[in-house]
């Protein structure tokens, strides 16, 4: 390797300097020097291959050529038509090189300050990626990483999370090039029968598995194809097969033929995504992808790198919609260490394995224990595939998890001469078995439907129970049957299976069933319905087989899907509710939208797959420890038709103080075991983990150096302890605000609004979203009785209200009016205003199930406020600190950001305000709050889990609190406030009251009253 002392930042700075005086020759020379000295891992021959002025035919010359990239250099791309002319010239060079060498060539256009990567589509260039230095700051490292992703020269790259993201992630030029080329292949061949079939099967499976959370888009199909092809090429490299070998075609790479030869099953197989090997240009694409991927040292992996790849390609929004939050490696390792206490004997299942993070650490734990116990290598490999199993519903995740499993085994073991035949036990399946109270595994074996309808299957393929015992043998048998069926010429006799029966030692009593199944597979193939049944069968069989009592596992680990009820498709909501009600974990309609799939998943997987005495460890939302929606789960007792499951929970882990946050909402880890006797509810004090990690996905060793563990106080009860819980309700849903919230408006030169009416127009806000942001303001003259004060979150300070907003409310004293109500015409100003709003609602929300009136009065949040009491109390729905105040204006309307209740008199209202504003009350409620990534965020009605008693005028403490609250109101009323945020104002009030003798006495009394 040639070394140089030339200053890299100096050359980068010189290239980026577009001041007058330099020439294209200067830029060209500096570019050549940059390519030669940058850390691209070039040897002397490579450097000599960097060509200046390479001939390109027709008396043209390429400015700089290196590897499979040509560079067109200009002095300044900002001048005149330079850019357009240069792109046209570059297109000719790229087209010529591509046609001559039959390789993917790319073009880079640069003036040293701007760098643009182009890919050839047809005869034209398409811009793929660009790099520019930030204003006023050179970024030599960023430029080098960008160029290396284009040139792909570096070798022996350690696949750390950073390198995966930089070189293979969605923002890397290499990934963008792959997406552009694969998209072009798909568009050119979308009518190819193989492409049509596999895309339809892909969409059908994901629709069945994910419902409306799945968006059927061509771009997503292409993205999944690229991810799976990437994983399968990595798998070849891991087992010692060079995917860049010119004798290996794309069909072999993506169909798993070489894995079959190497006797490694269940990793690469015909699936939805190998269509790319069947279309023109696909072989070249796969080879280019392989050349890029083999630059990494996949044998040096110490964590789940496939997770990093998936998260760097699939957007956060897509992963959120599917409830996919992948566990950091350090946490998965700790959970495995806690639950898998005897790796050599315990059978472990991750029923939502994702990319395989937990599987990685389970496999490593087993093999480490085997090595320590002196178990021979071949025996250890056979045992680990019997003891560590994964299942997931997502086909991309399953492929990733299989590669992760291989990476956990390690290249040395996989490439050993004495390695036995293996089948990687990671399956595409539905672990919850939604609504399948009738199993497909009958007394005589497994029945796999093959219907083309919504279920994907009908009852045609059957396999004897005896064959399912050995997963590896079953997988290899199914693969052979599928291969024989597809290779047989249509219409020819069904071939004999005598040799297959001998090779797989099929029991004589089972041969007739297998022969009949094979005949059915041949028939399906003749009918053009060869829907990769081998792929379906081996994947469907394992979860169903594992659910049989004799086959249940010793340990369940993993991170269930976190999918809130409100984000589920309607069909899934219905099934989820039924299954939750059957097991008594449905918490009721009042918290339905917050109920989460993770709770039912824990119960259902323990019910199906965990043997008595078996342990589990699941990463769950922190809310599982205290929130009402998980109250049924915390009991540990679940009874459903045909099932009785009893769990004994152990000490959970509270992870919310671990920073940086690794999920959008705080997490906990829940442990326990399945018992045959009494349950143990989840009420133990949690072990609190805290500390700040250098990166979220740190290794276990790094995490142990930065994290601390301590026992917390017991969790507060999730049941309401105060009788005030039933009295308080959330305010009205005042949306869309542009149609309801107004400001007084007068037009100069016009007459007034007239007696009893007020001129108003929509009050606008910079927080508005489309379509209402673009909707024009309404104006009108509305009868004064319908323009009411509106109290929102910003209106509330401790012990005091700020000036309210104004809102148009069509309440006539008896009911809410609407446009179809004749009574509305008694009020012409209101009628005009309201009907104009209704028309806007219908225009912008044509598919809305609720009318404008019903949306305004959602769950009676508005109408239940009328007629209003003379004395009301309000407090904030969200925040770090409670704030409360009295409302004495019966015309005021309370917004959804506040909770309200009527009080019998001013003393009761002041008593409640004193309690709610106290630091003692906030302290009691804080453990029950939902948390954001940094702070607690919701109070809602958890406030009333504190034992606040009803106001008693005969209790001296209660009456003194009412008197003190009156004094605090006077104190706050006399304060002057600057123009700052309402949060800052609340803080000023809290501090002023806390510093006073009044506030100090309130704290003493509240502490006594709450006990």
3-state secondary structure of 933: coil
In this structure, the strands spanning 667-674 and 708-711 are: unpaired
Confidence of residue 459 (pLDDT cuts 50, 70, 90): very low
List alpha helices for 41-172, DSSP H: 44-48, 82-101, 140-151, 161-168
Q: Which of 47-56, 99-108, 710-719 has the highest mean pLDDT?
A: 99-108
- Under 8 Å between Cβ of 811 and 732: no
The parent domain of residue 78 ranges over: 8-154
Residue 895 counted as domain residue:
yes
> Hey, how many other C-beta atoms are within 10 angstroms of the C-beta on 107?
27
Lowest mean pLDDT among 317-326, 495-504, 861-870, 896-905: 317-326
Beta bridge partners of 392: 428
CATH, residue 64: 3.90.1570.30
CA gap 36, 153 in Å, rounded: 12
Indicate whether 943 and 978 sit together in one domain. yes
Q: Which of 154, 182, 215 is the last residue of a domain?
A: 154
Q: For residue 989, what are the CA distances in angstroms to 850, 874, 976?
A: 41, 17, 10
- Under 8 Å between Cβ of 336 and 362: yes
Please state the three-class secondary structure of 646-692 as a single string: EEEECCCEEEEEEECCCCCCCEEEEEEEECCCCCECCCCCCEEEEEE
State the pLDDT at residue 439: 41
Residues 6+ apart with CB under 8 A from 167: 145, 148, 149, 157, 174
Token digits of residue 699: 């290794």
CATH, residue 634: 3.40.50.150
CA gap 688, 641 in Å, rounded: 37
Describe the crossing of helices 997-1010 and 982-995 by its angle, rounded to 10 degrees: 90
| pLDDT single digits (tens) 685-704 | 899 999 999 887 788 888 89
Indicate whether 688 and 765 sit together in one domain. no
Indicate whether 873 and 985 sit together in one domain. yes
Q: How far is CA 356 from the centre of its chain?
A: 15
CA gap 727, 225 in Å, rounded: 55
Indicate whether 648 and 773 sit together in one domain. no
| pLDDT single digits (tens) 617-651 | 999 999 899 888 899 999 999 988 777 899 999 99
Confidence of residue 302 (pLDDT cuts 50, 70, 90): low
Residue 143 counted as domain residue:
yes
Q: Which of 715, 748, 774 is the last residue of a domain?
A: 715
Question: Rounded mean pLDDT of the chain?
Answer: 85
Whether the per-residue pLDDT at 718 is higher than 60: the answer is: no
Q: Is 530 left (phi over 0), alpha (psi -120 to 50) or beta?
A: beta
Whether the per-residue pLDDT at 524 is higher than 50: the answer is: yes
CA gap 828, 824 in Å, rounded: 8
Handedness of CA 498, 502, 504, 505 (dihedral sign): positive
Q: Is 505 left (phi over 0), alpha (psi -120 to 50) or beta?
A: left
Give how many domains the chain has, as a whole number. Answer: 3
Indicate whether 81 and 126 sit together in one domain. yes
Whether the per-residue pLDDT at 456 is higher than 80: the answer is: no
3-state secondary structure of 776: coil
Indicate whether 810 and 953 sit together in one domain. yes
> Hey, how many other C-beta atoms are within 10 angstroms of the C-beta on 802?
15
| pLDDT single digits (tens) 143-190 | 988 888 888 776 777 787 777 877 788 888 888 888 988 999 999 999
State the pLDDT at residue 466: 79
Q: What would the mean pLDDT of 785-794 be, rounded to a whole number?
A: 96
Residues 6+ apart with CB under 8 A from 601: 351, 352, 431, 432, 560, 561
Place of tokens 């047989």: 488
Q: Which of 715, 744, 775 is the last residue of a domain?
A: 715
Confidence of residue 342 (pLDDT cuts 50, 70, 90): very high
H or E element: which one contains 788?
strand 787-791
CA gap 518, 532 in Å, rounded: 13
- Under 8 Å between Cβ of 765 and 743: no
Residue 921 counted as domain residue:
yes
Indicate whether 621 and 746 sit together in one domain. no
Indicate whether 635 and 737 sit together in one domain. no
Q: Which of 97-106, 203-212, 766-775 has the highest mean pLDDT?
A: 766-775
Describe the crossing of helices 997-1010 and 906-917 by its angle, rounded to 10 degrees: 90
Indicate whether 921 and 991 sit together in one domain. yes
CA gap 634, 602 in Å, rounded: 11
- Under 8 Å between Cβ of 330 and 702: yes
Q: What is the dihedral of CA 149, 151, 157, 163, to 10 degrees?
A: -10
Provide the 8-state DSSP code for 6. Answer: -
Indicate whether 701 and 782 sit together in one domain. no
Residue 967 counted as domain residue:
yes
Residue 872 counted as domain residue:
yes
Residue 193 counted as domain residue:
no
Q: What is the CA radius of gyration of the chain?
A: 34
Indicate whether 874 and 845 sit together in one domain. yes
Residue 30 counted as domain residue:
yes
Indicate whether 910 and 856 sit together in one domain. yes
Residue 478 counted as domain residue:
no
State the pLDDT at residue 452: 44
């Amino acid at each position: 390797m040639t070394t140089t002392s030339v200053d890299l930042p100096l050359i980068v700075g010189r290239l980026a300097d577009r001041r007058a005086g330099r020439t294209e020759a200067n830029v060209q020379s500096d570019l050549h020097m940059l390519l030669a000295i940058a850390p691209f891992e070039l040897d002397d021959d490579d450097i000599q291959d960097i060509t200046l002025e390479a001939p390109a035919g027709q008396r043209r010359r390429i400015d700089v050529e290196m590897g499979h990239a040509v560079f067109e250099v200009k002095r300044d791309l900002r001048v005149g038509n330079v850019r357009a002319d240069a792109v046209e010239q570059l297109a000719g060079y790229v087209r010529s090189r591509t046609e001559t060498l039959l390789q993917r060539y790319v073009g880079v256009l640069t003036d040293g300050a701007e760098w643009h990567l182009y890919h050839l589509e047809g005869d034209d260039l398409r811009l793929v990626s660009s790099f520019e230095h930030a204003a006023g700051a050179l970024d030599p490292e960023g430029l080098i990483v960008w160029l290396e992703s284009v040139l792909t020269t570096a070798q022996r790259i350690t696949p750390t999370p950073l390198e995966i993201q930089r070189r293979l992630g969605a923002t890397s030029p290499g990934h963008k090039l792959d997406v552009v080329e694969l998209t072009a292949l798909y568009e050119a061949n979308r009518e190819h029968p193989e492409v049509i079939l596999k895309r339809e099967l892909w969409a059908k499976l994901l629709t069945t598995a994910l419902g409306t959370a799945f968006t059927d888009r061509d771009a997503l199909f292409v993205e999944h194809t690229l991810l799976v092809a990437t994983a399968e090429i990595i798998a070849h490299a891991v087992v010692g097969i060079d995917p860049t070998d010119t004798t290996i075609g794309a069909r072999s790479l993506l169909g798993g033929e070489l894995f079959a030869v190497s006797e490694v099953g269940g990793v690469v197989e015909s699936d939805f995504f190998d269509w790319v090997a069947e279309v023109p240009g696909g072989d070249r694409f796969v080879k280019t992808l392989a050349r890029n991927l083999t630059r990494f040292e996949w044998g040096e992996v110490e964590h789940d790198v496939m997770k990093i790849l998936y998260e760097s390609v699939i957007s956060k929004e897509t992963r959120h919609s599917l409830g996919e939050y992948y566990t950091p490696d350090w946490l998965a390792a700790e959970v495995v260490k806690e639950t898998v206490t005897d790796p050599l004997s315990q059978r472990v299942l991750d029923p939502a394995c994702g990319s395989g993070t937990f599987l990685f650490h389970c496999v490593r734990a087993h093999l480490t224990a085997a090595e320590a116990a002196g178990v021979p290598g071949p025996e250890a490999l056979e045992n680990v595939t019997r003891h560590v199993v994964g299942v997931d519903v997502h086909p991309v995740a399953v492929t990733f998890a299989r590669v992760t499993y291989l990476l956990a085994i390690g290249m040395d073991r996989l490439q050993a001469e004495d390695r036995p035949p293996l089948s990687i036990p990671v399956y595409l399946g539905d672990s919850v078995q939604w609504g399948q109270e009738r199993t497909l595994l009958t007394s005589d074996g497994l029945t796999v439907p093959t219907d083309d309808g919504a279920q994907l299957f009908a009852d045609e393929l059957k396999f004897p129970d005896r064959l399912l015992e050995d997963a590896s043998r079953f997988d290899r048998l199914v693969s052979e049957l599928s291969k024989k069926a597809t290779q047989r010429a249509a219409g020819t006799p069904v071939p004999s299976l005598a040799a297959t029966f001998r090779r797989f030692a099929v029991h004589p009593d089972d041969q007739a069933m297998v022969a009949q199944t094979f005949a059915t597979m041949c028939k399906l193939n003749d009918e053009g319905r060869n829907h990769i049944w081998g792929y379906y069968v081996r994947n469907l069989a394992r979860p169903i087989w594992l659910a049989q009592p004799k086959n249940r596992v010793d340990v369940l680990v993993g991170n269930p899907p976190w999918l809130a009820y409100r984000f589920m498709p309607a069909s899934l909501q219905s099934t989820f509710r039924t299954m939750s009600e059957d097991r008594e974990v449905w918490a009721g309609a009042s918290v339905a939208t917050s109920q989460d799939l993770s709770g039912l998943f824990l119960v259902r997987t323990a019910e199906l797959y965990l043997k008595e005495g078996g342990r589990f460890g699941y990463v769950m939302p922190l809310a599982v420890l205290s929130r009402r929606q998980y109250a049924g789960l915390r009991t540990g007792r679940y009874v459903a038709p045909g099932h009785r499951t009893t769990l004994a929970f152990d000490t959970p882990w509270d992870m919310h103080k671990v920073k940086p946050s690794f999920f959008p909402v705080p997490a906990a880890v829940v442990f326990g075991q399945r018992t045959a006797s009494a349950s143990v509810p989840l009420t133990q004090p949690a072990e609190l983990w805290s500390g700040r990690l250098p990166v979220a996905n740190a290794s276990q060793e790094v995490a142990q150096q930065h994290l601390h563990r301590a026992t917390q106080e017991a969790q507060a009860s999730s049941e309401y302890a105060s009788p005030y819980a039933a009295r308080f309700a959330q305010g009205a849903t005042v949306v869309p605000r542009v149609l309801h919230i107004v400001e007084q408006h007068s037009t100069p030169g016009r007459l007034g609004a007239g007696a009893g009416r007020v001129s108003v127009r929509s009050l606008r806000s910079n927080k508005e979203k489309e379509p209402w942001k673009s909707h024009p303001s309404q104006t009108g003259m509305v009868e004064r009785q319908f323009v009411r004060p509106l109290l929102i979150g910003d209106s509330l300070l401790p012990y005091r209200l700020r000036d309210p907003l104004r809102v148009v409310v069509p309440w006539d004293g008896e009911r809410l009016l609407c446009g179809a109500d004749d009574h509305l015409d008694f009020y012409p100003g209101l009628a005009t205003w309201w009907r104009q709003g209704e028309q806007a609602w219908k225009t912008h929300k044509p598919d809305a199930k609720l009318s404008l009136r019903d949306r305004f009065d959602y769950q009676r949040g508005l109408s239940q406020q009328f007629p209003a009491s003379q004395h009301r109390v309000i407090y904030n729905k969200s925040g770090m600190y409670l704030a409360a105040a009295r409302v004495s204006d019966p015309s005021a309307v309370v917004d959804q950001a506040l909770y309200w209740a009527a009080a019998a008199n001013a003393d009761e209202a002041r008593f409640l305000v004193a309690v709610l504003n106290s630091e003692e009350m906030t302290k009691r409620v804080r453990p029950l709050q939902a948390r954001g990534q940094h702070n607690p965020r919701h109070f809602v009605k958890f406030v009333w889990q504190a034992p606040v008693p009803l106001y008693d005028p005969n209790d001296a403490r209660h009456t003194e609190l009412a008197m003190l609250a009156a004094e605090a109101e006077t104190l706050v009323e006399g304060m002057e406030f600057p123009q700052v945020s309402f949060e800052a104002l609340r803080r000023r009030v809290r501090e002023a009251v806390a510093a006073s003798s009044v506030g100090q006495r309130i704290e003493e009394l509240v502490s006594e009253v709450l006990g």
